[in-house]
């Protein structure tokens, strides 16, 4: 029994050592996905406005305001998330944007829905447990 407990303790220590790289990887993965979406929207603004007018039905916002807010959020929040600056705020903001994106689409392919679920779970984890020690937030908290 002692061998099993010792083995388990070593496994836990090994997994703890992976926590910061995993949090950084999650921030980079989700941040890059949202940032690239924002770049796509800003590259062809006329198409973006058309999509928000025809395809994306964001509740309570005009298509133009939704396009500006969505694109702005996709360009600013991922940068904050990747650097871990106001990381929980950025994760929560992207989490809400992710939900709004799913709600706003009249039709969503199962694979796209699954991708949004994955992003949402990563963002929820970062919002709940924090963005880790490899972040500006952590460095700020130590000074």
Q: What is the pLDDT of residues 101-131, one digit of tens each?
A: 999 987 899 999 999 999 999 999 999 999 9
Number of structural domains (the chain) is 1
pLDDT at 105: 86
Percent of the chain with pLDDT over 70: 100
125 lies in some domain:
yes
Name the token pair of 56.
């994306």
Tell me the residue range of the domain where 32 lies.
Answer: 21-141
Say yes or no to pLDDT of 11 above 80.
Answer: yes
The answer to whether residue 126 sits within a structural domain is yes
Residue 4 lies in a domain: no
CA pair distance 31, 97, nearest whole angstrom = 12
Evaluate whether residue 11 is within a structural domain: no
- Please tell me whether residue 55 adopts helix, strand or coil conformation: coil
Instruction: Flag whether 85 is in a domain.
Output: yes
Mean per-residue pLDDT over the chain, rounded: 96
Name residue, tokens 């950084």. Answer: 24
Q: How confident is the model at residue 142 (pLDDT cuts 50, 70, 90)?
A: confident
Whether 62 and 73 have beta carbons less than 8 Å apart is answered as no
The pLDDT of residue 45 is: 97
In a domain, 5, yes or no: no
Residue with more model confidence, 84 or 2: 84
Distance CA 102, CA 113 (A): 7
Is residue 71 assigned to a domain? yes
The distance from CA 25 to its chain's CA centroid, rounded to whole angstroms, is 11
Residue closest to 87 by CA, chosen among 18, 19, 16, 139: 139
In a domain, 45, yes or no: yes
What is the model's pTM? 0.92
**Cα distance between residue 58 and residue 74, in whole Å:** 15
């Amino acid at each position: 029994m002692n061998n099993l407990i010792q083995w388990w303790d070593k496994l836990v220590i090994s997994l703890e050592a992976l926590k910061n790289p995993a949090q950084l990887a999650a921030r980079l993965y989700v941040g890059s996905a949202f940032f690239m979406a924002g770049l796509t929207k800003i590259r062809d603004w006329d198409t973006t406005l058309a999509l928000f007018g025809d395809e994306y039905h964001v509740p309570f916002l005009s298509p133009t305001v939704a396009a500006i807010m969505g694109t702005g959020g996709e360009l600013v929040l991922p940068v904050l998330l990747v650097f871990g600056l106001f990381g929980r705020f950025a994760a929560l903001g992207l989490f809400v944007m992710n939900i709004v994106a799913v709600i706003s689409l009249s039709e969503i392919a199962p694979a796209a829905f699954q991708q949004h679920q994955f992003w949402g779970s990563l963002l929820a984890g970062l919002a709940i447990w924090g963005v880790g020690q490899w972040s500006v937030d952590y460095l700020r908290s130590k000074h």
